[in-house]
Structure 1
Amino acid sequence: MKKLFFSLFALVVLTACGNEEAPSSEGNAVKKPKQEEVTLVLDWTPNTNHTGLYVAQDKGYFEEAGLHVEIQLPGEAGADQLVASGKADFGVSAQEALTEARVQDIPIVSIGAIIQHNTSGFASPKDKNITSPADYEGKTYGGWGAPVEEAVISSIMSKEDADVNQVEFINMGNTDFFTAVERDVDFAWIYYGWTGIEAELREQELNMQYLTDYSEKLDYYTPILTTNETMIEENPATVEAFMRASTKGYEYAINNPEDAANILIEAVPDLDAELVKASQEWLSPKYQDDAEQWGHQDAQVWKNYSEWMFDNNLLDKQLNVEEAYTNEFLPEQ
């Protein structure tokens, strides 16, 4: 019933907005629907996590949904802050960041999981001989200085009776993984779909400990699409239109990885084309994976990870899971 309301509401809004006149080939005026302008802020520089969004733009799916979407880089403010403040309508984030935001009463909401399972983990060059979390003892970890890093490493090391206090933590800053592990770092946290694939192209063998191999509570959604509570309350038709078009974009990328990769490369020419194509081939099957549809989120995943964060002193209070995410704006199957 709610979805029917959103669909009818969208029809009324688009009709009320009026039409623009455009000349036809015969010289007669043809009515062109007016596009609603919205902004989408990425979480990082463009990569294959974002392919479906660029496909939706290139293939005209956003336009068909009545939207003109401007894709922006996050800048210093970050996507979460821009979305929460209403300076951006939609954003790309991750479950861990949104969970921290929600318990601080920051009004952002996850409206879709871009990738169904966590593909991240701790990587190291094979010659470092790090084959399990127990081997982190006496090694140097390179990260970005967030409390969650030590908590995750401690959590998986404790399963092997290893001591996180025996790990040296340093901040890598903007240093890339490959430079860091050649210089002063033994292992780091990566997304295999990008950095791991780049290692394959470099013919550099990695040892990898995926988080999901050590705890189901660490199988959280990263990345996700977000909006703010005001958009949901005041502009539900816009949110539904955005998710309808985004879904089409990711479904296309699932079924057409090579063409989708070319669309991303054309949109962002500075990207390494070989890496984009290889990454896309690896990642496309993982967008939806075993979910009933692309973008679907499960309450248990949100509950598991928020409980893990609370138990590891990363949250001041428990997360209200029902307010943190919604599947309401996904297209009906």
Structure 2
Amino acid sequence: MKKLVLVTLLLSGAASAQNLVPVKLQLKWFPQAQFAGFFVAQAKGYYKAEGLDVQLLPIGDQSPIQTVATGAADFGTTWITDLLTARQQGLPVVHIAQIFQQSGYTLVALKSSNIKAPKDLKGKRVGVWPSGNEYPAVALLKKYGMTTSLDASVARPDVQAVTYPFDPAIVFPDKVDVVSAMTYNEVDQIVGLGYGLDKINIIKVSDYGVNLLEDLMFTSARVLNEKNFRGSGLSGREVAARLVRASLRGWDYAVKNQKEAVNIVLPLCGNTCKGSGTRADARAHQTWQMREVAKLYQAGATLKGRAGYLEPAAYQGSVKLLRDLGILKQAPAAGAVDYRVWEAATGKKAH
């Protein structure tokens, strides 16, 4: 009888595992604490509790937009400027949840350079990232009336943009005067290069009216319109709501239990754990990163009990900024953001 019960339980578990809906979520970078909430949701079984078997895909220095638009992934994380410019190019990608409620993008210079504010950037070399990640820097410079070498139509640009593959050690401080840095990643990498916080000036672009929100969750219109996602009997919209609900649960847990979250991330992040060739202590870097991304999550709508919500004012502010700067030619269609997924995931109403 005991053997029969055991066999029944094992078969039941196997059947349950087989009934999980396979979902591919494309992350914007390599595994690290930037995505802690997703890894926690996976480790704690929050996705399985929603009937999902979620595969978290790393991508490196490419845009997740393409993998989702082509169907290689079902969902992804990216920055709002990437999503809106992709929409402008005709790619039917849709915003479904806003994870970070505040921008973590900065520009870093040595204190000895006397570069303290955007007005000091004229005539300087500014390190920017490729694949749409240059937009915050471009937006800041355009706001202050400066042209860059990224615009081929400008004969004598005010700023020389130096594109490089994310590792600040490649260009800073010898090849650029100012380097792009996220508060949660490259700032600590620069510290690890021997330039402590007392030796650098950090220009937070959000302090100067460029608060282009970063890590959000998105999918394609095709996925949302699917009536029977992967033969699961669930619609694409239902799967999206389950994914968002479990992910927000993971983020809430990660922010409240940061040490445990770091322990979950560390076995997954490999060489990325240390940052790009800087700190020898992987735990120290991921702890820094977890602390800083928690600040970006615990802001705005999250503080109002509405985690994952894209506040209309913040969205319209981003659209207006990008239109004023000529990065967007027209306002995105209403379908660029689908609040119904967030409403279904949280049981709350969008304003």
Which bracket does the TM-score occupy, shorter chain normalised?
A: 0.7 to 0.9
2:112 to 127, 131, 137: 127
Aligned to 1:331: 346
Structure-1 separation of matches of 2:173 and 2:116 = 18
State the shift of 1:77 in Å: 6.5
Aligned to 1:183: 174
Q: Would the aligned equivalents of 1:41 and 1:72 in 2 still touch at CA under 8 Å?
A: yes
Q: Aligned in 2, Cα 1:282/1:91: closer, same or farther, shift over 3 Å?
A: same
State the shift of 1:150 in Å: 6.2
Aligned to 2:151: none
Aligned with 2:300: secondary structure?
Answer: coil
The one-letter amino acid paired with 1:288 is Q
Aligned to 2:29: 44
- Taking only aligned residues, the RMSD between alpha carbons, in angstroms, comes to 2.5
The one-letter amino acid paired with 1:31 is S
Aligned to 1:290: 300
Aligned to 2:212: 220
Say whether 1:239 aligns with 2:252.
Answer: no
Q: Aligned in 2, Cα 1:137/1:71: closer, same or farther, shift over 3 Å?
A: same
State the shift of 1:67 in Å: 0.9
The one-letter amino acid paired with 2:214 is T
Aligned to 1:268: 269
The one-letter amino acid paired with 1:290 is G
Structure-2 separation of matches of 1:267 and 1:68 = 18
Structure-2 separation of matches of 1:54 and 1:321 = 31
| Residues 25-73 of structure 1 deviation map (CA, whole Å, 9 limit, x = unaligned) | 6443462321111111111122222111111111111111111111112
| Residues 140-184 of structure 1 deviation map (CA, whole Å, 9 limit, x = unaligned) | 1122466736642334434xxx78766432333226213312321
Q: Aligned in 2, Cα 1:189/1:269: closer, same or farther, shift over 3 Å?
A: closer
Say whether 1:28 aligns with 2:15.
Answer: no
Structure-2 separation of matches of 1:236 and 1:166 = 46
Give matches, 1:16-95, under 5 Å.
26-29=6-9, 31-32=12-13, 33=16, 34-74=19-59, 78-95=63-80
Q: Taking every aligned residue pair, what percent have the same amino acid on both sides?
A: 22
TM-score of the superposed pair, with normalisation by structure 1: 0.83
Q: Aligned in 2, Cα 1:75/1:188: closer, same or farther, shift over 3 Å?
A: closer
Unaligned runs of 5+ in 1: 1-22
Structure-1 separation of matches of 2:5 and 2:24 = 33
Structure-2 separation of matches of 1:243 and 1:200 = 34
Aligned to 1:172: 163
Unaligned runs of 5+ in 2: 149-155, 227-235, 275-281
2:316 to 303, 308, 311: 303
Q: Would the aligned equivalents of 1:93 and 1:226 in 2 still touch at CA under 8 Å?
A: yes
Aligned to 1:4: none
